[in-house]
Amino acid sequence: MYEFVSGPLVWIAFIVFIGGSLYRIYNMLSISKKEKVVFPHMSLKHSLASLVHWVIPFNNQYMRKRPIFTIVSFAFHICLLIAPIFLLAHVILWDESWNMSWWTIPEAVTDWMTIIVIIGCIFFLYRRLTDPVVKNVTDGSDYLLLAITALPFITGFIAYHQLFAYNTILILHILTGEIMLIAIPFTRLSHMLFFVFTRSYFGSEQGHVKNSKDW
Amino acid sequence: MKPTIVKREPVVDEAMDQCEARLTEEEIEKVINEVIDKETGGRLWTYINTCIHCGLCAEACHWYLSNDRDVSFAPVTKIKDTLWVMLEKKGKVDAAFIKRCSQISHTECNACRRCGMYCPFGIDIAYMILVVRRICAKLGMVPLYLQDTVHSHAATMNQMWVKPDEWIDTLQWQEEEAQGYVPSARLPLEKEGAEIMYSVIGPEPKFLAQLLGNITVIMKVAGLDWTMPATAGWDNSNMAMYSGDFEIMARVERLHHETAQRLKVKKIVMGECGHAFRGAEYDGPTWMGWMKPPIPIVHAIAFYYDLIKSGRIKIAKKIEGPITSQYPCNVIRNAGLGSKLRYIMSAVCEDFVDLIPNDRHAFCCNAGGGTINCGPPWKKIRVQSAKLQSENFKRTGAHTIVTPCHNCHSGVEDIVDGYKLGMHVKFFSELLIEAMEIPEHLKPKEE
């Protein structure tokens, strides 16, 4: 089992993730071409202006109005992206298989980052269960996406601390990580891919076409 | 997903009720899929596939905030209850559902685009609402009064069933009125090659004719070379844009621009109206594939800003007392004229009290987006859902609210009446006429 999830399935997961992402972006761009307004409205300057105001915390009015959400969601997303890439154990695996390596973050830090991701997931789950607006637009798929996101980190945390059943948990960790990679292009986790485009388009339309701003 | 709990008082709208009885499910399915497949593309697809259902848009919406945070008014709920269902069921929905879609999109959303500005992904929810309106309009599911204005556009090319002779009569009458202040003032009709074509919305000749007199005086004092058309094409308003009847919208916008081209003017200056600017500057040209208007469009706010800033119009006496101004969504959030509005307000008012929130973050008057044109059946909920903005007005302590937009003017009047604010509602030009200096040589001579 370990050989399978850490061998062929890794290949499949990365191929589906990268290939799927490229396909989805290509698909988005080609159906956007059908709409005559999309590309003529785009402007690099206003896309960047919009991104700068929305990827830096508290750099727009709405984020300042919701400090807790802003802090949690930024901490969550930063840790979610950074921790897996610069985790020592992951880099060692890359080194062993491909002889390539890069910087790593101290394990104590990535451990905390994992905890932050898990806390973030709990926060989002809490909102889904209690905030009336969010609750009303939540269905099974939203919980599933949350589970797909949380599980690699929960199993990773357990495996790192070797809390119990190390071998089983490790297999589960790899498996859930692969599921997440595969899920990104084909579920609404694809906001990871599309965020830049939706943000750029709205920023361009507001700035370039409508002479206003979107922050 | 569980259905949204919706509590509304029953509203009788004859056109919608009759349409509900007439529609067949085959027709509904066909139209929904036609619009989704042929008229939408990357934007709708990406928005639907990117929305993570976080609900952050709710805090942006005055409908939601004014109705004690009733979730059925939240922007994301409005999409859930319309497009999500249509897409999930591939158009297999019934007539009652389409009626509810029209209620949501025509009567409970102003397409003010504030929620788009508050979405972390920049998802343009108002655009999706317009897609819903488009589907409803193609099925004939449009509130009675709104559809009546669309019929008027189609039949007369103006919004208010103004007949050609009435139009010319009204202009000549207002020219005479203006000559009471400035005897040499003229309202030039059909002057080919003038620098400016001035266009207004249907309600101006219909029941706000004094505004035409005002602009005649202002143009004379500023010494501008201007004209108005004597033919159809004078009306820059466009309710078809808001009903979802984009074919008629395009006819109206095309005629407006072609009239300006026939008169060989250098620019079109339009009266104080927000949606008219949106239609002429953006929605019309993009639908027709022009992308940009062939002749530049100048909104009244920018026009008055230029006149005051350049000194063509001088202010003799500023208006006393605290005065505030509504920020019309279509020319502020969606056209960036906020700082110019503050400039002209400060120029003519002694004590300009700004709204909080202001500029592009200001809330809608709740009349825009065609909502007020849905008429009396929908008025109660509309005024009730402007509670938040009524509180914002009240806090300013102003004696007058200036509305540089016709929709805002009517909407704010309803707010002032409904919440007993005891404030006056005026157009900016009404303030300007009071405050501006009329040079000695233009004044009437004493007999």
Burial A176-188 (b: 16+ CB within 10 A, else e): bbbbbbbbbbeeb
Number of domains in chain A: 1
Mean pLDDT across chain B: 96
pLDDT, tens digit (0-9, with 9 covering 90-100), for A88-126:
999 999 999 889 999 999 999 999 999 999 999 999 999
Say how far apart CA B389 and CA B398 lie, in whole Å: 14
Asked whether residue B442 is assigned to any structural domain, the reply reads no
Instruction: Find the CATH number of the domain harbouring A78.
Output: 1.20.950
Contact check, Cβ <8 Å, A202/B122:
yes
User: B97: which 2 tokens?
Assistant: 């559902």
In this prediction, residue B1 has a pLDDT band, given cuts at 50, 70 and 90, of confident
Q: What's the Rg (C-alpha) of chain B? A: 22
Residue B185 sits in the same domain as residue B110: no
Report yes or no on B4 lying in a domain.
no
* Domain range for A173: 2-209
Q: Are residues B74 and B196 in the same domain?
A: no
pLDDT digits (tens, 9 = 90+) for B359-403: 999 999 999 999 999 999 999 999 999 999 999 999 999 999 999
User: In terms of CA atoms, which chain A residue is nearest residue B39?
Assistant: A35
Nearest CA in chain B to A57: B120
User: How many beta-carbon contacts under 8 Å exist across A and B?
Assistant: 132
The predicted-structure confidence for B171-219, as pLDDT tens digits, reads as follows 999 999 999 999 999 999 999 999 999 999 999 999 999 999 999 999 9
Reading the block at residue B45, the tokens are 């697809």
B340 and B285 belong to one structural domain: no
Determine, for residues A201 and B64 on separate chains, whether the beta-carbon distance falls below 8 Å: no
Has residue A36 got a pLDDT over 90?
no
Burial class (CB in 10 A: 0-12, 13-18, 19+), B316: exposed
Residues of A in contact with B60 (CB under 8 A): 62
CA atoms within 13 A on the CB side of B227: 20
Q: What per-residue confidence (pLDDT) applies to B291?
A: 86
CA separation for the pair B279, B137 (Å, rounded): 17
Q: What residue numbers bound the domain in which B45 lies? A: 14-142
- The answer, yes or no, to whether residue B447 has pLDDT greater than 70, is no
**pLDDT the model gives residue B100:** 97
Flag if A209 and B122 touch (Cβ within 8 Å).
no
Residue A100 lies in a domain: yes
Q: Kindly provide the b/e burial profile for residues B152-179, where b requires at least 16 CB atoms within 10 angstroms of the residue's own CB.
A: bbeebbbbbebeeeebbebbeebbebbb
Is A140 inside a domain boundary?
Answer: yes
Q: Are residues B249 and B383 in the same domain?
A: no
Residue B235 inside a domain? The answer is: yes
Tell me which residues of chain B, numbers 320 to 349, contact chain A at a CB-CB cutoff of 8 Å.
332-336
Q: What is the pLDDT of residues A43-65, one digit of tens each?
A: 999 999 999 999 999 999 999 99
Which chain B residues in 348-387 lie under 8 Å from chain A, judged by CB atoms? 360-361
B283, B305, B327: which is the final residue of a domain?
Answer: B305
B74 touches chain A (CB under 8 A): yes
Condensed to tens digits (0 to 9), the pLDDT of residues B133-160 reads 999 999 999 999 999 999 999 999 999 9
Two tokens at A152?
A: 């690699």
Do B187 and B124 share a domain, yes or no? no
DSSP state of B325: E
ipTM of the complex: 0.95
Residues B398-430 pLDDT 10s: 999 999 999 999 999 999 999 999 999 999 999
B33 shares its domain with B81: yes
List Cα–Cα distances, B368 to A101, B163, B336, B342, B412, in angstroms.
58, 26, 17, 21, 11
The reply to whether B443 falls in a domain is no
Using CB atoms and an 8 Å cut-off, which of residues 100-129 of chain B contact chain A? Answer: 116-124
Q: Closest CB to A54: pick one of B74, B120, B333.
A: B120
- Are A66 and B56 within 8 A, CB to CB? yes
Which of A25, A29, A41, A137 should we substitute to test contact with B (largest number of B Cβ atoms within 10 Å)? A137
- Tell me the CA distances in angstroms from B106 to A143, B7, B242, B374, one per residue in order: 32, 17, 8, 7
Please list, residue by residue across A67-100, b when 16 or more beta carbons sit within 10 angstroms of its beta carbon and e when fewer do: eebbebbbbbeebbeebbebbeebbeeeeeeeee
Whether B138 and B154 map to the same domain: the answer is no
pLDDT in tens, B287-298: 998 989 999 999
Are residues A198 and B50, on separate chains, in Cβ contact within 8 Å?
yes
Overall domain count for chain B: 3
- To the nearest whole percent, how much of chain B has pLDDT over 70? 100
Judged by CB atoms closer than 8 Å, whether chains meet at A50 and B122 is answered as: yes
Asked if residue A215 is part of any domain, the answer here is: no
B253 and B358 inside one domain: no
Q: What is the pLDDT of residues A171-203, one digit of tens each?
A: 999 999 999 999 999 999 999 999 999 999 999
Q: Are residues B157 and B54 in the same domain?
A: no
Q: Do B69 and A36 touch (CB under 8 A)?
A: no
Contact B338, B360 (CB under 8 A): yes
Exposed (0-12), middle (13-18) or buried (19+): which is B373, by Cβ within 10 Å?
A: buried
Residue pLDDT, tens place only, B47-100: 999 999 999 999 999 999 999 999 999 999 999 999 999 999 999 999 999 999
Instruction: Report pLDDT for A127.
Output: 97
Is residue A77 a part of any domain in this protein? yes
Task: Specify whether the backbone of B216 is left (phi greater than 0), alpha (psi in -120 to 50) or beta.
Answer: alpha
> Given the structure tokens 């071409």, which residue do they identify?
A33
Give the CA distances from residue B280 to residues B20, B200, B257, B298, B373, in Å, rounded to whole numbers and listed in that order.
33, 12, 8, 10, 19
Choosing from B113, B142, B171, the residue where a domain stops is B142
Q: Which residues in chain A are closer than 8 Å to B49, comparing Cβ atoms?
A: 188, 190, 194
Q: Is residue B175 situated within a structural domain?
A: yes
Domain-located, residue A214: no
**Taking every pair of C-alpha atoms in chain A, what is the biggest distance, in angstroms?**
59
Residues B365 and B274 in one domain: no
Residues B242 and B173 in one domain: yes
Whose CA is closest to A206, among B329, B305, B314, B419? Answer: B329
Residue A171: helix, strand or coil by DSSP? Answer: helix
**Is B420 found in the same domain as B344?**
yes
Quick: pLDDT tens for A118-163.
Answer: 999 999 999 999 999 999 999 999 999 999 999 999 999 999 999 9
- A157-170: average pLDDT: 95
Q: What percent of chain B has pLDDT over 90?
A: 98
Beta strands B400-402 and B319-325 are: parallel
The CATH number covering residue B332 comes to 3.40.50
**What long-range pairs does B387-392 form, CB within 8 A, spacing at least 24?**
B387/B66, B387/B67, B387/B419, B388/B62, B388/B65, B388/B66, B388/B363, B389/B62, B389/B66, B389/B363, B389/B364, B389/B365, B389/B415, B390/B415, B390/B418, B390/B419, B390/B421, B392/B355, B392/B356, B392/B357, B392/B363
What is the nearest CA distance from B122 to chain A, expressed in angstroms?
5
Last residue of a domain, one of B115, B142, B169: B142
Residue B322 lies in a domain: yes
